[in-house]
Amino acid sequence: MSKKKGLSLEEKRTRMMEIFFDSKDVFQLKDIEKIAPKSKGISPMTVKDVLQSLVDDNMVDCERVGTSNYYWAFPSKAVHARKHKLEELQKQASEAKQRKESLQKAVEKAKIGRQDTVSTRSCADLKFCVLIAHQRSMTNVLCGCVRVCVRVQKERSSMLKELQALREERTQLQAELEKYRECDPEVVEEMRKSNVVAKEAVSRWTDNVFAIKSWTKKKFAFDDGRINKAFGIPEDFDYMD
């Protein structure tokens, strides 16, 4: 029986964000340490580190009230982070496309260097020797042919070295080109679709935020400014266009 594979850090982060989004509530660390292992399968030993990584990346807000830390996350903030990530991926995809085109041109140029020009040139030189043989003595012709063969051999050796260098360069360029295939336009398109779904959910979450604010004002008689400051809600927080 194969051993069950543990969750990656990114999977743990995603599942922990679901706790905040699904509940639309404010938690203390001890609450998350109880909920995360039971409902999301996150190892109890890693809960604190995963939560802190989300705070460090500004995906989860943290506010100290008295002697306790309180954690919460607004979907609108997650949408903003997703939008920023999408723009970053689009930029990387554009740069990768330009780099790919440049590399392909370099590879094509390297292929040209593989053309064998030695044999054609050798035949031309030998034909020339045959024509000269009719007008000069065989000794001079043979000497000339020897010189031609020596010169052709040197040129051939030089071209073979150049060909090998071009092959190595082509291999390196193809390896570099392979790296840029990670920025597949399909990945960017998938992010764009996810962004649309997330934006549709923003309105629902915004309703929830205003509902919580309304309840807090009635329950504790707090004004909007105090509530916004306590929970890190921007003054211009409103529905997205």
Cβ(122)–Cβ(152) below 8 Å = yes
Domain end point (choices 135, 169, 185):
185
Q: What is the pLDDT of residue 40?
A: 92
* 191, part of any domain: no
Domain end point (choices 170, 185, 200):
185
Q: What is the pLDDT of residue 32?
A: 95
- Asked if 105 and 50 sit in the same domain, the reply is no
Question: In 10 A of CB 158, how many CB atoms?
Answer: 11
**C-alpha span between 79 and 30 (Å, rounded):** 27
* 12, part of any domain: yes
Q: What is the pLDDT of residue 204?
A: 73
* 192, part of any domain: no
Domain end point (choices 169, 185, 201):
185
- Asked if 181 and 100 sit in the same domain, the reply is yes
Handedness of CA 83, 84, 85, 88 (dihedral sign): positive
Full domain range(s) for residue 142 = 92-185
Q: What is the pLDDT of residue 53?
A: 94
* 195, part of any domain: no
One-letter amino acid of 61: D
Q: How far is CA 232 from the centre of its chain?
A: 31
Question: In 10 A of CB 138, how many CB atoms?
Answer: 8
Please name every residue paired with 71 in a beta bridge, in sequence order, or none if there are none. Answer: 27, 62
- Asked if 33 and 111 sit in the same domain, the reply is no
DSSP label at 241?
-
Low-confidence ranges of the chain (pLDDT < 70): 1-4, 78, 111-150, 152-153, 178-188, 190-201, 203, 239-241
User: How many domains does the structure of the chain reveal?
Assistant: 2
CATH of the domain at 35: 1.10.10.10
R_g of the chain computed on alpha carbons = 35
Helices (H) and strands (E) in the chain, counts: 8, 2
Cβ(146)–Cβ(154) below 8 Å = no
Cβ(75)–Cβ(233) below 8 Å = no
- Asked if 100 and 180 sit in the same domain, the reply is yes
- Asked if 125 and 65 sit in the same domain, the reply is no
* 109, part of any domain: yes
Cβ(51)–Cβ(60) below 8 Å = yes
Q: Tokens for 1, please give them.
A: 């029986």
Question: In 10 A of CB 161, how many CB atoms?
Answer: 10
- Asked if 45 and 100 sit in the same domain, the reply is no
The mean pLDDT value of the chain amounts to 77
Q: Tokens for 44, please give them.
A: 């109890």
**C-alpha span between 199 and 129 (Å, rounded):** 80
* 198, part of any domain: no
- Asked if 33 and 61 sit in the same domain, the reply is yes
Distances (CA, A) of 235 to 15, 25, 83, 95, 214: 29, 20, 21, 37, 15
* 67, part of any domain: yes
Whether the model clears a pTM of 0.95, i.e. scores above it, the answer is no
**C-alpha span between 112 and 167 (Å, rounded):** 11
* 43, part of any domain: yes
